[in-house]
Structure 1
Amino acid sequence: MEAAALLGTDFDWQVVGAALGLDDRTAGTAIRELRRERLVVPDGDRFTTRHALTREAVLATVLPPDRRRLAAMLATAVDSLGAERDAGSEQALAELFEAAGDGARAAEHWLGAARHAIARGALTSAHEALARAAAQPGAALDLDIREAEVEVHALAGDIPRAVTAAESLVEELVALGDEADRLARLRLRLARALLVGGRWDEAEETLAQAAGDSALVHVLEARLALGREQEDLAVERARAALEQVGTDRPEVACEAWEILGRAARGRDVVEAEAAFEEGFRLADRSGLVLWRCRLLAALGALDIVQRRPHDERLVAARSAALAAGAIATAARVELDLNMLRTRYFELDEAMAAIDVAIEMMGRLRLPDLSLALIVRALTHGLMGRDDAMAADLAAGFEMPHDEGAFAVVVPGHVLGPVALARGRYDEAREHWVAAIKAARSYPSFPFSTRGLWALLETVLDTAGDGGAAAREEIRNGPQATSPYNHFVLRYADAVALGRAGDKEQAERVFADAEWPFPGREPWMELHARGLVARAAAADGWGAPEQWFRQVLDGLVDFGQTEAASACRVAMREAGIAVPRRAVGSDRVPAHLQRIGVTAREYDVLELVVDGLPNKTIADRLFLSVRTVETHVARLLQRTGAADRGELAAHLAG
Structure 2
Amino acid sequence: MHTHSPTVIGRTGELRELDTAAAQGRDHQGAVVFVVGDPGMGKSRLVNQAAEQVRSHGVVLQGRCSSIGAPITLRPVAEALLSLDRASAVPQNPELRPYRTALSALVPQWRERTGPSRPESLIVLAEAVLRLLAAAGRDQGCLLILEDLHDADPESIAVTEYLVDNLRGLPVTLFVTLRPNDGPALDLAYQSRSRKAGHVIELRPLTADGVTHLAASCLGISVDELPAPVARRLLHDADGTPLIVEELLNGMIATGALQQFGAGDWRVVRNLDTTVPVTLTRSVLTRADRLGPQGKRALNTAALLGRHFSSPLLQTVTGLDNRSLHIHLRSAVDAQLILPEHGHGDAYVFKHALTVEALLTQLLPGERAQLARSAAEALEKAEADLPGKRLELAAGLWHAAGELHRAGLLLAEAGHLALREGLVANAAHLLERSLEFIEPHRDQNTWADCVESLLNALVESGAIERAFEFARSVADTALMKLDDARRANLHAQLAWTAVMVGRWPEAAERVAAARSVLGSDCTPEQRVPVDVVDGFVQVRGGRKAPGLDTTQAETLVRGAVESAERIGLPVIACQGLQLLALLARPRGFDEADACLRRILAIADKHGLGLWRARALSRLATNQGMVTGSPDQLEQVHRVFLQMGAIASAYQAESALAMHAVLRGEGQRAEETLSRCSSALIRLGHTGDLHYVYVVQATLAAHQGRPRDMERHLADYRNGGGEHSEYTPVVLGLCHAVSALLDEDRPTARDALAAARAWDLEHPATYFLTGCYGLELLVAAVSADLDQDRLEAVARKAPARLRWNLQFVHFTRAVLLGGDSRHDEAAEAVEQAILASAPFPLARHLGLRLVSEAAITDGWGTPGLWLRTAEEYFHDANIAPVASACRALLRQAGMPATQRRSGHGRVPEALRRHGITAREYDVLVLLARRYGNNEIAERLFISPRTAEKHVASLMAKTDSPGRRALCEFAHRTASPDRKTG
TM-score clears 0.5: yes
Does 2:542 align with 1:241? no
Q: Write the letter of the residue equivalent to 2:513.
A: T
Inter-partner Cα distance in structure 2 for 1:70 and 1:61: 22
Going from structure 1 to structure 2, the CA distance change for 1:203 and 1:359 (only over 3 Å counts) comes to farther
Provide Cα deviations, 1:35-90, integer angstroms capped at 9, x if missing partner.
xxxxxxxxxxxxxx998533445666997459999986553233125735564553
Asked whether the equivalents of residues 372 and 401 of structure 2 are also in contact (C-alpha less than 8 Å), the reply is yes
Residue of structure 1 aligned with 2:428, choices 111, 127, 135: 127
Going from structure 1 to structure 2, the CA distance change for 1:226 and 1:298 (only over 3 Å counts) comes to same
The answer for the alignment partner of 1:575 in structure 2 is 893
Q: Write the letter of the residue equivalent to 1:540.
A: G
Going from structure 1 to structure 2, the CA distance change for 1:331 and 1:75 (only over 3 Å counts) comes to same
Inter-partner Cα distance in structure 2 for 1:118 and 1:321: 13
> Which ranges in structure 1 are unaligned for 5 or more consecutive residues?
32-48, 608-618, 625-646
Does 2:535 align with 1:222? yes
Residue of structure 2 aligned with 1:314, choices 633, 637, 659: 633
Going from structure 1 to structure 2, the CA distance change for 1:520 and 1:578 (only over 3 Å counts) comes to farther
Provide Cα deviations, 1:587-606, integer angstroms capped at 9, x if missing partner.
679xxx9xxx9849988x99
The structural deviation recorded for 1:387 is: 3.2
Asked whether the equivalents of residues 810 and 850 of structure 2 are also in contact (C-alpha less than 8 Å), the reply is yes
Inter-partner Cα distance in structure 1 for 2:346 and 2:622: 49
The answer for the alignment partner of 2:495 in structure 1 is 191
Identity over aligned residues, as a percent? 25
Q: Write the letter of the residue equivalent to 2:413.
A: G
> Which ranges in structure 2 are unaligned for 5 or more consecutive residues?
1-297, 326-339, 442-446, 519-524, 926-953, 960-973
Does 2:354 align with 1:53? no
Provide Cα deviations, 1:405-461, integer angstroms capped at 9, x if missing partner.
565333212111122344554543343233334433336342323211111111232
The answer for the alignment partner of 1:340 in structure 2 is 659
Per the alignment, in what secondary structure is the counterpart of residue 843 of structure 2? helix
Asked whether the equivalents of residues 9 and 52 of structure 1 are also in contact (C-alpha less than 8 Å), the reply is no
Going from structure 1 to structure 2, the CA distance change for 1:509 and 1:147 (only over 3 Å counts) comes to closer
Map 1:318-467; keep pairs closer than 5 Å. Answer: 318-362=637-681, 363-401=683-721, 403=723, 405=725, 408-442=728-762, 444-448=764-768, 449-450=770-771, 451-461=773-783, 463=784, 467=786
Inter-partner Cα distance in structure 2 for 1:578 and 1:427: 27
Provide Cα deviations, 1:306-357, integer angstroms capped at 9, x if missing partner.
2423x33333333433444443323322321221111123223323333443
Inter-partner Cα distance in structure 2 for 1:505 and 1:382: 30
Going from structure 1 to structure 2, the CA distance change for 1:372 and 1:410 (only over 3 Å counts) comes to same
Give TM-score, length-normalised by structure 2. Answer: 0.51
Asked whether the equivalents of residues 799 and 808 of structure 2 are also in contact (C-alpha less than 8 Å), the reply is no
Map 1:3-402; keep pairs closer than 5 Å. Answer: 19-21=317-319, 52-57=343-348, 64=356, 65=359, 75-80=376-381, 83-84=384-385, 87=388, 89-94=390-395, 105-119=406-420, 122-133=423-434, 139=437, 141=439, 144=447, 149-153=454-458, 159-173=464-478, 183-196=487-500, 197-199=503-505, 200-209=507-516, 214-227=527-540, 228=543, 230-246=549-565, 249-280=569-600, 282-283=602-603, 286-309=606-629, 311-362=630-681, 363-401=683-721
Does 2:865 align with 1:543? no
Inter-partner Cα distance in structure 2 for 1:396 and 1:124: 30
Q: Write the letter of the residue equivalent to 1:573.
A: Q
Number of aligned residue pairs: 582
Q: Write the letter of the residue equivalent to 1:198.
A: W
Going from structure 1 to structure 2, the CA distance change for 1:387 and 1:499 (only over 3 Å counts) comes to closer
The answer for the alignment partner of 2:841 in structure 1 is 523
The answer for the alignment partner of 1:644 in structure 2 is none
Per the alignment, in what secondary structure is the counterpart of residue 384 of structure 2? coil
Give TM-score, length-normalised by structure 1. Answer: 0.73
Asked whether the equivalents of residues 344 and 522 of structure 1 are also in contact (C-alpha less than 8 Å), the reply is yes
Per the alignment, in what secondary structure is the counterpart of residue 655 of structure 2? helix
Per the alignment, in what secondary structure is the counterpart of residue 479 of structure 1? helix
Q: Write the letter of the residue equivalent to 1:487.
A: Q
Going from structure 1 to structure 2, the CA distance change for 1:531 and 1:443 (only over 3 Å counts) comes to farther
The answer for the alignment partner of 1:640 in structure 2 is none
Inter-partner Cα distance in structure 2 for 1:559 and 1:292: 44
Per the alignment, in what secondary structure is the counterpart of residue 409 of structure 2? helix
The structural deviation recorded for 1:472 is: 5.0
Per the alignment, in what secondary structure is the counterpart of residue 764 of structure 2? coil
The answer for the alignment partner of 2:31 in structure 1 is none
Inter-partner Cα distance in structure 2 for 1:504 and 1:408: 36
The structural deviation recorded for 1:495 is: 1.8
In our comparison, the structure showing a higher alpha carbon Rg is 2
Asked whether the equivalents of residues 392 and 414 of structure 2 are also in contact (C-alpha less than 8 Å), the reply is yes
Provide Cα deviations, 1:609-635, integer angstroms capped at 9, x if missing partner.
xxxxxxxxxx9x9599xxxxxxxxxxx
Inter-partner Cα distance in structure 1 for 2:900 and 2:384: 72
Inter-partner Cα distance in structure 1 for 2:871 and 2:777: 22
Asked whether the equivalents of residues 556 and 582 of structure 1 are also in contact (C-alpha less than 8 Å), the reply is no
Asked whether the equivalents of residues 868 and 916 of structure 2 are also in contact (C-alpha less than 8 Å), the reply is no
Asked whether the equivalents of residues 338 and 353 of structure 1 are also in contact (C-alpha less than 8 Å), the reply is yes
Asked whether the equivalents of residues 195 and 203 of structure 1 are also in contact (C-alpha less than 8 Å), the reply is no
Asked whether the equivalents of residues 87 and 116 of structure 1 are also in contact (C-alpha less than 8 Å), the reply is yes
Per the alignment, in what secondary structure is the counterpart of residue 766 of structure 2? coil
Per the alignment, in what secondary structure is the counterpart of residue 686 of structure 2? coil
Inter-partner Cα distance in structure 2 for 1:156 and 1:210: 30
Inter-partner Cα distance in structure 2 for 1:182 and 1:246: 18
Going from structure 1 to structure 2, the CA distance change for 1:201 and 1:188 (only over 3 Å counts) comes to closer
Q: Write the letter of the residue equivalent to 2:514.
A: L
